[in-house]
Amino acid sequence: MSSPINLQHVNVKLLAKNPEQVDLEPLIPVFHNWIEGQIFEELLLDVADYRHVQAGPGVVLIGHQANYSVDNTDNRLGVRYNRKAPLEGSNQDRLQQAARAALTAFERLESEARLNGKLRFNGQEIKVYVNDRLMAPNSDSTREALKPELGAFLGKLFQGSEYKLSHGSDPRSLVAVEVKANRAFSVSELLANLAS
């Protein structure tokens, strides 16, 4: 029996379809416009361009409570939400908040004219990280403690559809779980599932 876990600083990354077709440069003006409009509930502050590093964070929209990025860590391109400020509520609330934020950002980017429809969710792959090594060390016991929380969260997200879980092998990395749904979902479908 694993001990309960206090999930804070949840990151959710939604992987992109055909990543080789995605040009990250147009994201810079897009993110600047998001700051100008302060379009999310988080305070948006700055844009950091790391396209020059391989398999890096890509283009990052820096916020006070959270960062949004089109991230290429591990050479896997996707839209990532990185929660920095602690959140009240239950673990489920926090998982759902991070997923909702990532999905909302992805939905906007999918319809962003300057990206020419090239940045699309691949429909099936999501990565969930916990960005705090002290509260969530990368260990089997943390993964055990995560299991029921993820089970409940993914059950809601996929509305009972099957999925597979896997994780990386480097114990130095953040604890993370890769989720692959057995069927493809659209961003709007997943958002609707979370809202249900």
Binding site for other proteins (CB under 8 A): 6, 8-9, 28-29, 32, 35-36, 38, 43, 45-57, 60, 62, 64, 67, 69, 73-74, 84-86, 131-135, 170, 172-174
Tokens representing 80 are 């990532």
Please state the closest distance from residue 33 (CB atom) to other proteins, in A: 9
Q: Which of 95, 51, 52, 58 is nearest to 73 (CA)?
A: 58
Please state the closest distance from residue 36 (CB atom) to other proteins, in A: 4
Please state the closest distance from residue 66 (CB atom) to other proteins, in A: 10
When the beta carbons of 84 and 118 are compared against other proteins, the nearer one is: 84
d(C-alpha 72, C-alpha 74), whole Å: 6
When the beta carbons of 43 and 184 are compared against other proteins, the nearer one is: 43
Q: Which of 140, 108, 137, 129 is nearest to 179 (CA)?
A: 129
When the beta carbons of 97 and 193 are compared against other proteins, the nearer one is: 97
When the beta carbons of 89 and 160 are compared against other proteins, the nearer one is: 89
Please state the closest distance from residue 50 (CB atom) to other proteins, in A: 6
Cα separations (Å) of 143 from 8, 86, 131, 147? 15, 21, 14, 6
CA 10 distance to own-chain centroid: 8
